[in-house]
A = this chain, B = another copy of it.
């Protein structure tokens, strides 16, 4: 178990893409209840089951367990709520922090967000030029919510 402290931002331009190679993520949900989200995720040929509690400020209780890839693929195909989210994640290092930039595909094509994990909520963050508006508290950017209300349906 851990407590996750993350801040999430929109991204401008494509400068971030030059510094990293992406990895394909697939993820589906066995529960999207905000008090007890259960996620099945594959990262290239690895797979994980992740349980998260409700977000309080930028904190969220999280439990993650590796599982066999074949189990995860079968759950994504047969058990998870549809649709499945597919995205390419880039890890970009900047001033001592790691930014995870997610470029969504399919129903969420066009959406790109960057997340940074922090040691505490007050930690000072050096922002790369390509970081735009903060959306940490905006629930429509939660991956679990992108299933039922994908980016392609948002009013721009």
Taking Cβ atoms with an 8 Å cutoff, the residues of A that contact B are 1, 30-31, 33, 35-36, 38, 49, 51, 53, 61, 63, 65, 67, 70-71, 74-75, 78-81
Contacts and interface: CB of A to CB of B under 8 A. Distances in A.
Given A1-B74, A30-B33, A61-B74, 12 more contacts: A1-B71, A30-B30, A30-B31, A30-B38, A31-B31, A31-B38, A36-B79, A36-B81, A53-B79, A61-B78, A63-B71, A63-B75
Nearest to A63: B71
Label chain A's interface by main secondary structure.
mixed
Given A1-B70, A1-B71, A38-B31, A51 B79 contact: yes
Nearest to A80: B36
Contacts of A71: 1, 63
B1 A30 contact: no
Contact of A30 (B36, B61, B67, B80): B36
